[in-house]
A and B are shown apart, each in its own frame.
Chain A
Amino acid sequence: MSNLIEVSGIVKAYGGIKALNGCELEVREGQINGLIGPNGSGKTTLFNVITGYEKVQQGAVTFKGQDITNSTPDHVFGLGIGRTFQLSRMFPRLTVLENMLVATQREEGWLRGVSRLAGSHSERSRALELLDFVGITRLAYEPAGNLSYGQRKLLELASLLVADPDILLLDEPAGGVNPTLINHLADRIRDLNADGKTILVVEHNMEFVMGICSRITVLAQGTTLMAGSPTEVRSSPAVLEAYLGADEEEAALDAALREELEEAARSTTSSVSVTSEPGDRAPAAGGAATEEVLLTLSGVCAGYGGADILKQVTLDVPLGGITCVVGPNGAGKSTVMKTISGLLRPREGEIRFRGELVSGLTPKQVLAKGIAQIPQAHSLFGDMTVLENVEMGAFTVTDRAVVRKRLAEVQELYPIVRDRAHDKAGSLSGGQQRLVEFARCLMLDPDLIMLDEPSMGLDPQTRTMVFDMVAQMNRQGRTILLVEQNARAGLKLSSHGVVLENGQVRLTGSGHDVLTHPEIGALYLGGAVEAAGV
């Protein structure tokens, strides 16, 4: 079987960080090829490299045997490679039909293409046919900006088809799309494949990938981990490790865990509850039911620009514990935090903190209640010194004596704040920055600390240290709400676990129970959650 696209030895570095490091990829002609990998493994970067949006330092990309390394996007498209974007991109102020007519026809002279009236009958009817194929004909005369998130994905796909490309590169076609539409999309992709189109799809939704792909390539940290059939990929321990996170130091612990996992699979009395209906309150595990609750979300719907990311999220954060929210990319984990901290206003539902309503407050007001959020990496003010950054944490505190006292405490806890006080925060390593972020957050003496992926981009050793610090903050009596991509490490640390999928809570329970629940692997690597229902 011949390869349509071959990628070999690609190195792409931003500054010192290598996004792609010797990555290899073969795209089989006439098949649906999958490309998966954990967050930050370089999937989208690879797409950008193939389609000419990014230039590489090393390596080669060929299409039908022809070298297209470091080409330009318009040239690549002209050769017959069409792509979609992760956050679907179209032209919001053009109508849907106009969007369909933008693409330059292949093998058409530039001047001829340009001078042709955009509304010629054959082109229009072809465009309408394609809109009909994806199912949005009715919206043909609407401005594309009015479309819902899922409809945009469909439009983006259809607008590529106008030029009849040989291969479609789809970047997370199912991301943020509702299950019905996902099925619809999967059907369309299969139809296109049946029509002879080769497809390469990047996707976090494993069920989707495993369902439609015949061959899957797995990326991890910029290199190719393996390539094979869905069954091979699914059964590979290396892939599971890449996703769930593994640390060699705790290999022994892992062995114990595996035992427990098997035991849990046999056991019928798992205290983990699975919910499938939105809005259902997942009952808390066993004896924990009587625990005092610090924060509750009930039926929260929120999102950006009309599209809801959170669909009826209901969850409790028990007082004094560490609650870890895990789930695949795009499940809405970060959005939960933004909604709580007031960065995002919920469209529906309410959030209560100690019984008091906090939804709809400004970030400053939420902060005053004692809820602090540390956002995803790089939230320090890089041009300020470490000390300034930490002092900024107490921005809303006016009593200088209190600030001094807390600063002393924080310096005690995090010596780095004293040792590197006058260095620019931007000059610290990733792990050090995390600690300074923790220190800054503690300056307010919050009751609830929300951490958004504290281990992101850290090596295993630093990650362990960061998690130790999280546990330490918790021991000092602070309730922690943690969002973590590294599900295993996060849940191991936590007293409570919540699994979020597609903007809905799917599992809740103690951290241990959630971690050992037989479905957790399935949630990440695809598989039928429903089948394993309680």
Chain B
Amino acid sequence: MVFAVFALFPVVITDPTTTSIAFFALVFMVAAASWNIFSGYTGYLALGHAVFFGSGGYALALLTSHLHVSGGWPAFALLPLCGLVGALISIPVGLIALRTRRHTFVVVTIAIFFIFQLAAFNLGFTGGTSGLFLPLPPFSAANFNQPFYYVAFIILLVTLLVSWLVRRSRFGLQLLAIRDDEDRALGLGVKTRRLKLSAFMISAFFVAMIGGLYFDFVGQVFPNTAFDPLFDLSIALMAFFGGMGTLIGPVFGALVLESLQQYLTLSFSSNGTYLIAYGVLFLLVILIMPQGVVPGVRDLLRRRRPAAGGGTLAETDQPLAGAAGATR
């Protein structure tokens, strides 16, 4: 059902303003979902994923210009390569950052992020402050958004599929175990370092890929937009809003928050309004549903219908006491 709505959305609603909002929402849904593969599952709050988002954009700009690839579908074909660039960059970044834990890790990711931002401003091949241009796709103005929308949608499906596979595998289970108690996981034979780095790379891959697509759509990549601290935070807030560590939560959070942001930015000339609404909404969620919306609503439903879903612990605890204490 949801799939059909998303698949048919640009066919039914062709208004370019709306479809571009939908495209942006999809971009952030992918970003939040892939951020979640690392941060949501392992509990390591990475606030530097803009590094990969921006790198994806720069990678596509550089690839298209050096390989003389034209815009549109040929450029889209290079997107997996952008993802690969992101994954490669994530290796040294991860090796350094993952030596630390908790808040030190957060600060190290922020610091690495600023190193990339400053480097983009100052290095020659990034075009400095003026940035780089991407080739214009040969799409007609009326249908310009549709191809981007569908490519983003496909990337989202792939990201979700990978996220689901990770969640279902022992790999994912071990990531969640790291989130809950890393030292204990180590004692159960979990190769925590390798796992964290692998998740970090997968996460970087998809963020870089969608970054390439995003900047292809925008047409230009600057240091300011490529390495934007608000991006780092936004995807974290979106994932948290929907429910960190759940499959659908981050996607839901991104859909709500990014659509809201785009809508408010368009409706009000000032950027202030969306920031306020964004922040307030997030703070409300933290106060009311500290787990995020998706798990929060799930809990609410479970509480309302205790008979469904296997019952609560209070019910199952009693028979257990009899089973465990058979000697009683």
Contact = CB atoms under 8 A, between A and B. Distances in A.
B171 interface: yes
A245 interface: no
A72 B192 CA distance: 11
B188 A93 contact: no
A181 interface: yes
B319 A104 contact: no
Interface string A369-381: 0000000000000
A168 B194 CA distance: 26
A154 B325 CA distance: 12
Interface residues of B, number: 38
B173 to A, nearest CB: 5
Contact of B180 (A78, A91, A113, A137): A91
Interface in A66-111: 72-74, 77-78, 82-83, 85, 89-94, 98, 101-104, 106, 110
A173 to B, nearest CB: 14
B169 interface: yes
B177 to A, nearest CB: 5
B168 A119 contact: yes
A262 B320 CA distance: 46
B171 A114 contact: yes
B109 interface: no
A73 B187 contact: yes
B5 interface: no
Interface in B158-204: 168-174, 176-177, 179-181, 183-192, 194-195, 198
A115 interface: yes
Contacts of A102: 170, 173-174, 177, 185, 188, 190
Given A142-B313, A142-B316, A181-B324, A77 B187 contact: yes
Contact of B325 (A77, A92, A181): A181
Nearest to A72: B186
Contacts of A85: 184
A384 interface: no
A135 B323 contact: yes
A255 interface: no
Contact of A74 (B171, B186, B324): B186
A159 interface: yes
A298 interface: no
B327 interface: yes
Nearest to A98: B173
A146 B173 contact: no
Nearest to A154: B324
A53 interface: yes
A98 B176 contact: yes
Nearest to B172: A118
Given A91-B181, A115-B171, A104 B191 contact: yes
- Size category of the binding interface on chain A: 35 or more
Contacts of A90: 180-181, 184
B313 A89 contact: no
A150 B328 CA distance: 15
A398 B323 CA distance: 58
A106 B325 CA distance: 32
Nearest to A178: B325
A89 B169 CA distance: 22
A275 interface: no
A98 B188 CA distance: 13
Given A94-B173, A114-B169, A184-B325, A104 B189 contact: yes
B170 A83 contact: no
A101 B173 contact: yes
B124 interface: no
A271 to B, nearest CB: 34
Contacts of B185: 91, 102
Interface in A353-383: none
B188 to A, nearest CB: 4
Contact of B170 (A53, A92, A94, A113): A113
A83 B184 CA distance: 10
Contacts of A114: 169-171, 174, 195, 198
A303 to B, nearest CB: 16
B308 interface: no
B239 to A, nearest CB: 16
A163 B188 contact: yes
B4 interface: no
Nearest to B315: A138
Among B173, B183, B320, max chain A CB count under 10 A is at B173
A85 B170 CA distance: 23
Nearest to A76: B187
Interface in B236-263: 245
A118 B169 contact: yes
A1 interface: no
Contact of B320 (A89, A119, A136): A136
B81 to A, nearest CB: 24
A146 B315 CA distance: 12
Contacts of A134: 324
B183 A73 contact: yes
Contacts of B191: 74, 104, 110
B177 A184 contact: no
A106 B103 CA distance: 34
Nearest to B320: A138
Interface string A152-183: 00100001100100000000000000001101
A91 B176 CA distance: 8
B138 interface: no
A118 B168 contact: yes
B181 A116 contact: no
Contacts of A93: 176, 179-180, 245
Among B168, B170, B184, B189, max chain A CB count under 10 A is at B189
A73 to B, nearest CB: 4
A151 interface: yes
Interface in A7-55: 51, 53
B180 A92 contact: yes
A138 B316 contact: yes
B326 interface: yes
Contacts of A141: 310
A183 B326 CA distance: 10
A117 interface: yes
Interface of B: 168-174, 176-177, 179-181, 183-192, 194-195, 198, 245, 310, 313, 316-317, 319-320, 323-328
5 contacts: A89-B181, A114-B170, A115-B169, A151-B320, A180-B327
Given A89-B183, A180-B328, 8 more contacts: A91-B177, A91-B179, A102-B174, A136-B324, A138-B319, A142-B316, A180-B325, A181-B324
Interface of A: 51, 53, 72-74, 77-78, 82-83, 85, 89-94, 98, 101-104, 106, 110, 113-119, 134-139, 141-142, 146, 148, 150-151, 154, 159-160, 163, 180-181, 183-184, 187
Q: Which 3 A-B pairs have the closest CB atoms?
A: A104-B189, A91-B180, A77-B189
